[in-house]
């Protein structure tokens, strides 16, 4: 096996995931993606504060989502499913203003920020939501963490 096939297989193992509903109603997408073969995506229906979301996910076999730049097709699907709603993702700058990190502590490399975002428009906006029905590669907005919004978890299939 040459190194490019090995890299593709390693990426495939990392990327095949579920965005999992924590309560009953599941919405699933299974499709063939060029190079990546199969992807399963599930959106959460539970409404919660951004700061309580990680605790809920830790009690389940899943974690708050961390959306990598390689997953533009996931962003496109999520944007369509959310319609005009918003959903929390596991990104915040609560430790230090302007230093965006995922809930696992990984710093943000590349984001899908909306125009003019992040901007702390209403004050203390330390958490990030995805806006549905907008440009999927420019649909992240900073929001106050105490707002009650649905949120997205992911689960590794393999």
pTM of the predicted structure, to 2 decimals = 0.62
Q: Which one is the CATH code of 3-46+68-151: 3.30.160, 3.30.750, 1.20.1050, 3.10.100?
A: 3.10.100
Range list of H helices, the chain = 3-15, 53-58, 72-82
The H-or-E segment that residue 92 falls in is strand 86-92
For residues 15-39, b (16+ Cβ closer than 10 Å) or e, as one string? bbbbbbbbeeeeeeeeeeeeebeeb
Residue 13 CA: distances (Å) to CA of 9, 16, 20, 97, 158: 6, 6, 17, 33, 7
One pLDDT digit (tens) per residue for the chain, 158 residues: 455 555 554 444 334 333 333 333 344 444 443 333 333 444 444 444 554 444 444 444 444 455 554 467 677 777 777 778 888 888 888 888 999 988 778 898 878 899 999 998 888 898 888 888 778 778 899 998 888 887 776 555 54
């Amino acid at each position: 096996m040459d190194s490019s096939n090995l890299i593709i297989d390693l990426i495939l193992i990392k990327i095949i995931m579920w965005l999992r509903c924590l309560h009953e109603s599941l919405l699933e997408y299974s499709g063939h993606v060029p190079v990546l073969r199969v992807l399963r995506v599930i959106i959460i229906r539970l409404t919660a504060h951004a700061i309580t979301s990680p605790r809920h996910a830790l009690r389940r076999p899943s974690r708050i989502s961390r959306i990598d730049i390689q997953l533009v097709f996931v962003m496109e699907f999520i944007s369509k499913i959310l319609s005009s709603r918003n959903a929390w993702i596991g990104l915040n700058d609560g430790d230090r203003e302007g230093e965006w990190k995922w809930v696992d502590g990984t710093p943000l490399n590349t984001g899908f920020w909306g125009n003019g975002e992040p901007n702390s428009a209403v004050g203390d906006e330390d958490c990030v939501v995805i806006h549905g029905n907008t440009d999927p590669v420019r649909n992240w907005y900073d929001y106050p963490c105490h707002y009650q919004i649905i949120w997205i978890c992911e689960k590794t299939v393999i």
